[in-house]
Amino acid sequence: DGGITQSPKYLFRKEGQNVTLSCEQNLNHDAMYWYRQDPGQGLRLIYYSQIVNDFQKGDIAEGYSVSREKKESFPLTVTSAQKNPTAFYLCASKSAQLNTEAFFGQGTRLTVV
Amino acid sequence: GQQLNQSPQSMFIQEGEDVSMNCTSSSIFNTWLWYKQDPGEGPVLLIALYKAGELTSNGRLTAQFGITRKDSFLNISASIPSDVGIYFCAGRRVSNFGNEKLTFGTGTRLTIIP
């Protein structure tokens, strides 16, 4: 089945450690996105990539880094510079076709203790 | 980053009731989207609107793209237990690939009272 997969579902890390969240899609989508969701808030864009080896900062990129070495994969690293990393992280991908919308993964809940 | 004004923040209704929620913005969008999110899951697209004034239905759901392009509403008729969840609106300014950035509302949490 085609889809977008985030792993792991739950992640626990100690403060000060970097952690990488995985996002893989087999939908042949060119664009991929990372969003952060906090309780009672909508989704906020962290980074996005429209093509392999290229990515742009979203609204809240500070303390995060990404790479896009393969079309299928868009991993997000939450660095120790992110002041409040505990959140629900959502990855999405989208076709280049006009008037098509993004598919979301099931999310990774990161808890930093 | 901007977030859309979505209301109400929460709704408590009885099964069978109709539901209405809306989003407003100070900026113009050329696409409005409505998503539903179940707890601990990613959002799922319900309805997409691409033209000002457009009224679109998906089963018991109906959504409209405001004529001013600054607002949208979602109605759910005859609610059922599986409607429980958080509903998000999202607006997009440019529909062409390469300028895809969605702005999300803060969500409406729908609860059905037994």
Does the pLDDT of residue B95 top 50, yes or no?
no
Sign of CA dihedral A78, A82, A87, A93: negative
Q: Which residues of A touch B (CB under 8 A)?
A: 6, 30-31, 33, 40-45, 48, 50, 58-60, 88, 90, 92, 94, 96-99, 101-107, 109
Cα–Cα distance between A79 and A100 in angstroms, integer? Answer: 32
Mean pLDDT on A4-22: 94
What pLDDT, in 10s, does the model give residues B9-63? Answer: 999 999 999 999 999 999 899 899 999 999 889 999 999 999 999 999 999 999 9
| Type of residue at A82 | Q
> What DSSP line would sit under A98-109, residue for residue?
TT--PEE---EE
pLDDT of the residue at B98: 53
Cα–Cα distance between B106 and B85 in angstroms, integer? Answer: 13
DSSP secondary structure code for residue A15 in this structure: T
Percentage of residues in chain B with pLDDT exceeding 90?
A: 80
The shortest C-alpha distance from A77 to chain B (Å) reads 19
- How far does CA A109 lie from the centroid of its chain? 11
DSSP secondary structure code for residue A30 in this structure: S
User: What dihedral angle (degrees, nearest 10) is formed by the CA atoms of A53, A57, A58, A63?
Assistant: 110
What pLDDT, in 10s, does the model give residues B54-67? Answer: 999 999 999 999 99
Cβ–Cβ < 8 Å for A33, A103: no
Query: What confidence category does residue B72 fall into, taking pLDDT thresholds of 50, 70 and 90?
Result: very high
Cα–Cα distance between A86 and A99 in angstroms, integer? Answer: 33
Q: What are the backbone angles phi and psi of residue A9, rounded to the nearest 5°?
A: -75, -40
Paired tokens of A58:
């979203």
